[in-house]
Amino acid sequence: MKQFTGISALYFIFFLSVIFLTSSQSTEYPVDYEQLGKEERIVIRFSHVVGEDTPKGMAARKFAELVKERSNGLIEVQVFSNGTLYKDGEEMNALSRGDIQMIAPAISKLTDIVPEISVFDLPFAFNSLDEVHEYALSDIGEKLTNRLKNHNLLVAGLWDSGFKQISNSIRPIEHYSDLEGLRIRIMPSDILTKQYETLNAETKRTDFVTVFNVLQNGNVDGHENTLTNITSKNLYSLQNYITISNHGYLGYLILFNYDFWNSLPEDVQQLLTKILQEVQEWEWQLTKEMDQEKLQEIQHCAIQLHTLSEEDKLEWEEKLQPVYDYYREHYSERFIDALPKFQN
């Protein structure tokens, strides 16, 4: 009997506690999207091939952070950098299959599906990044990039890597004739092949993740890339000479799988578009700053640096005229004619 009274008292206390706890809790629960199941959250897998410490790497992270913050965790952007998930040749297929939802490939890597887009690869086509942006955002620029829609790709922005420089391990490149006979790694683009063919150099197309190896084992003598890519992957440590030529643009189109984009609610599309706009502005500024920083950094390294003068550039440009003729003949006149440098 005594034992029974003890147990009843325990039950009574437990019962009171439950009443107290439930009555003291508000029925307005805060929303915690992190507790949603995978099928309730929107997950965007974003794969790219460069390092974290580059304009693209940093912009991808910033995009993910802003999306998480402004959607209260409803949308999660998972960033896979350094080609850890998919390499150059693989990411487009993965996007088409829907294994990932977003990529930001170099424009040169899209020239096999929309060859006319290689207008961005033409040597000395732009004098500044502002000119690139002006061209890309013009009616004709948008008509050009929107050709990717036919391939189930939505273009959601343009990020810069900057202008490319040329490095090699054989000799200083001061005159364009110094390139003769050198083996140069390039991105897959016919215009880039044509550019080096015109200068009597050989080209080799390889994925970005293999550039360090091909330079190290001597499969190529040199390559062209932006300073942030060159420094982030320590590529300059394998080369003796670098020429600051600023001869070609390297930038990225931000691409979504179109079916995935269309499956998103309208307010989510609006939120993502707004954030991407903000990140794009931020990335453009960051690229300019980082490029300057990396130039200073590289000036203190054991690599011999040569900078092309404005007169040299004009000479190179003239020599490279056949590349423009090739583009006009094979792709289109109007995308060349609309370049800012032919506007005045």
Q: Which of 44, 45, 46, 50 binds ligand LMR (CB under 6 A)?
A: 50
**Least distance (Å) between residue 140 CB and ligand LMR:** 24
- Looking at the Cβ atoms of 257 and 287, the one nearer to ligand LMR is 287
How many chain residues touch ligand LMR (CB under 6 A)?
8
**Least distance (Å) between residue 213 CB and ligand LMR:** 13
CB 157 within 8 A of CB 261: no
* Site membership for ligand LMR, residue 246 (CB under 6 A): no
**Least distance (Å) between residue 310 CB and ligand LMR:** 26
d(CA 223, CA 167): 6
Q: Which residues, 284 to 303, sit near ligand LMR by CB under 6 A?
A: none
Burial of 214 (0-12, 13-18, 19+ CB in 10 A): middle
- Looking at the Cβ atoms of 202 and 207, the one nearer to ligand LMR is 207
- Looking at the Cβ atoms of 255 and 271, the one nearer to ligand LMR is 255
- Looking at the Cβ atoms of 87 and 313, the one nearer to ligand LMR is 87
- Looking at the Cβ atoms of 104 and 199, the one nearer to ligand LMR is 104
C-alpha closest to that of 283 among 48, 73, 115: 48
**Least distance (Å) between residue 229 CB and ligand LMR:** 5
3-state per-residue secondary structure call for the chain: CHHHHHHHHHHHHHHHHHHHHHHHCCCCCCCCHHHCCCCCCEEEEEECCCCCCCHHHHHHHHHHHHHHHHCCCCEEEEEECCCCCCCHHHHHHHHHHCCCCEECCEHHHHCCCCHHHHHHHCCCCCCCHHHHHHHHHCHHHHHHHHHHHHHCEEEEEEEEEEECEEEECCCCCCCHHHHCCCEEEECCCHHHHHHHHHCCCEEEECCHHHHHHHHHCCCCCEEEECHHHHHHCCHHHHCCEEEECCCCEEEEEEEEEHHHHHHCCHHHHHHHHHHHHHHHHHHHHHHHHHHHHHHHHHHCCCCEEEECCHHHHHHHHHHCHHHHHHHHHHCCCHHHHCCHHHCC
Residue span 70-99 as binding mask against ligand LMR, x where in contact by CB under 6 A, dash where not: ------------------------------
- Looking at the Cβ atoms of 82 and 240, the one nearer to ligand LMR is 82
- List the structure tokens of 148: 């990717």
Query: Taking the mean position of all CA atoms in its chain, how far away is CA 2?
Result: 76
Residue span 97-126 as binding mask against ligand LMR, x where in contact by CB under 6 A, dash where not: ---------x--------------------
**Least distance (Å) between residue 226 CB and ligand LMR:** 7
Residue span 194-213 as binding mask against ligand LMR, x where in contact by CB under 6 A, dash where not: --------------x-----
**Least distance (Å) between residue 22 CB and ligand LMR:** 55
- Looking at the Cβ atoms of 42 and 186, the one nearer to ligand LMR is 186
* Site membership for ligand LMR, residue 187 (CB under 6 A): yes
- List the structure tokens of 23: 């009555």
**Least distance (Å) between residue 48 CB and ligand LMR:** 6
* Site membership for ligand LMR, residue 229 (CB under 6 A): yes
**Least distance (Å) between residue 114 CB and ligand LMR:** 16
* Site membership for ligand LMR, residue 58 (CB under 6 A): no
**Least distance (Å) between residue 95 CB and ligand LMR:** 15
* Site membership for ligand LMR, residue 161 (CB under 6 A): yes
Please give the residue ranges that form the binding site for ligand LMR (CB under 6 A): 49-50, 106, 161, 187, 208, 225, 229
